[in-house]
Amino acid sequence: MMRALDHLEEWLVTLLMGAATVIIFVAVMHRYASGLAIPGVQDWLLGLNLGWAQELCIIMFVWMAKFGAAYGVRTGIHVGVDVLINRLQEGLRAKFVIFGLLAGALFTGIVGTLGARFVWENGAHYAVFTFFGLGTEGLFEGPTTPDLEWPTWIVYSAVPFGSYLMCFRFLQVCVSFIRTGALPHHDHGHVEGVDEAPIPAPGQEDKVYRMDDNLHARDLVDERSQSAQNGGQDGGARK
């Protein structure tokens, strides 16, 4: 289960981003295609209502942001100023790092709790009681979104879910740091799925872009030194 939980953010963000991209593309194509005077097709396109697409994409991006923040805690990609912390002695530095992680867990836990209370009072209470057939007298049904007419508590649920997941990630990183002494680090210059080429040695950078023809400029000094080296090897072989 932990293995699946470790990839929860990637799956959710990937799913939401892909779906939002498709929805936006379809909505834009529908808008432009509806202006074409194609008999039969134009009337059919005008009959389709995609006015909800923008609102749905906004909701999806809100959820992406909250779960993306939890992903940032787990992988160490959040921006932080640690110049002073890194100059401290090892033992004192470890205490400050643990304090910072626990403070992050406390803050996100409080935000998650306040968000859960707001969602519960903003219509989730009414929805749960209605689902189980319980009495709903005096309960606030809650507003709905303008276009989709969804209960707004569904949208606001991103706050408690995302914040509690961030709290869990802070605690997870803290436990890992106590055990190993290492924090997650993300290389911003690395792209997933792309193999990194080795860095050329000093003075050999131009060979990476060199063409095997007579139409491109070359480093004559480097070629002469290479020829001299080859000549010396041939002479040694003859001896």
Residue with tokens 């005008």: 46
Both tokens assigned to 26: 């379809």
What is the distance between the alpha carbons of residues 167 and 102, in angstroms, rounded to a whole number? 9
C-alpha closest to that of 121 among 150, 158, 152, 148 = 152
Of the candidates 181, 170, 176, 2, the residue with the CA atom closest to the CA atom of residue 71:
170
Q: Residue 228 corresponds to which tokens in the numbers above?
A: 């001299």
Looking at residue 162, its pLDDT comes to 95
Q: Domain map of the chain by residue range? A: 2-78+88-180
Task: Fill in the amino acid letter for 47.
Answer: G
Task: Quote the CA–CA distance of 148 and 52 in Å, as a whole number.
Answer: 6
pLDDT tens across 112-142, in order? 999 999 999 999 999 999 999 998 888 889 9
Residue 221: the pLDDT is: 45
* pTM of the predicted model as reported, rounded to 2 decimal places: 0.73
